[in-house]
Amino acid sequence: MGDATPAAERAETLAILAAEVETCVVCRLAETRTNVVFGAGNPDADVMFVGEGPGQREDEQGLPFVGRSGELLEQLLGEIGLVRDDVYIGNVVKCRPPKNRDPRPDEIESCKGYLRTQLQLIEPKVVVTLGNFASKLLLRTDTGITRLRGTAYEWWGRFLVPTYHPAAALRGSARVLGEMREDFGTVQSIIEGKLQRRTPEPAPEEDAAVPDPDPEQLDLFS
């Protein structure tokens, strides 16, 4: 997808942004991180995954999903005929929250512009949100992942497929893993052109714990 920008230009702009984010000190997570985990993968990908935030292994290596969750993600990708280099993987927050605590609303707010730019540059055909934080942010809702998943949403002219975070499948039941497999099957159907139907994005909830829209940035998930 993303025919508007040539692949080389897209990669170059992402690299410039990544270098900028390396030195980001906008929120408190900068004080405790080892490395910024900007994101990695194919800048021209049809599928972009959005996780929550780096864990310990990711913080050490500066790469997303290199721990156990990453192994499961790669396994699920393999089951639909994809490898990591085919897709792009990013996160809601680019720095590890201490002791893997949840990212706080102000940290998400500080970081979301970077994610927005990644999505705008990569222009994936399908965005796959992994877990509650990414799904709620992009769909601007307080509804939890258990209710959101199982649907391919219409999202800014592309598909958004919310699914569980791989960590939930690792610590959870066989049902969670089975439902993740279903959702990955949906992604496969979309990229093979076998699924056209999308559910409209849920109307933003007034009381959703998402930041107020910034009138300058009324695009994607502001």
Q: What's the min distance (Å) between Cβ of 137 and ligand URA?
A: 12
Size of the site for ligand URA (CB under 6 A): 11
Cβ of residue 131: shortest distance to ligand URA, in angstroms? 7
Q: Which is nearer to ligand URA, 69 or 186 (CB)?
A: 69
Residue 97 binds to ligand URA (criterion: CB under 6 A): no
CB of 191 to ligand URA, least distance (A): 22
73 with 14: CB under 8 angstroms? no
Positive or negative, the CA dihedral 155, 158, 162, 165 is: negative
Q: Which is nearer to ligand URA, 35 or 151 (CB)?
A: 35
Select 27 or 37, whichever has its Cβ closest to ligand URA.
37
Binding mask 144-183 for ligand URA (x = CB under 6 A): ----------------------------------------
Q: How far is the CB of 68 from ligand URA (least distance, A)?
A: 9
User: What are the structure tokens assigned to 54, written together?
Assistant: 């780096």
Cβ proximity to ligand URA: between 177 and 195 the closer is 177
Q: Which is nearer to ligand URA, 93 or 218 (CB)?
A: 93
Q: Which of residues 43-82 bind ligand URA (CB under 6 A)?
A: 51-55, 58, 64-65, 69
Write the secondary structure of the chain as one string of H (helix), E (strand) and C (coil). Answer: CCCCCCHHHHHHHHHHHHHHHHCCCCCCHHHHCCCCCCCEECCCCCEEEEECCCCHHHHHHCCCCCCHHHHHHHHHHHHCCCCHHHCEEEECCCCCCHHHCCCCHHHHHHHHHHHHHHHHHHCCCEEEEECHHHHHHHHCCCCCHHHHCCCCEEECCEEEEEECCHHHHHHCCHHHHHHHHHHHHHHHHHHCCCCCCCECCCCCCCCCCCCCCCHHHCCCCC
Contact criterion met (CB below 8 Å) for 88 and 45? yes
CB of 166 to ligand URA, least distance (A): 7
User: Which residue in the shown chain puts its C-beta closest to ligand URA?
Assistant: 51
Q: Smallest distance from the beta carbon of 196 to ligand URA, in angstroms?
A: 30
- List residues near ligand URA by CB under 6 A: 37, 51-55, 58, 64-65, 69, 91
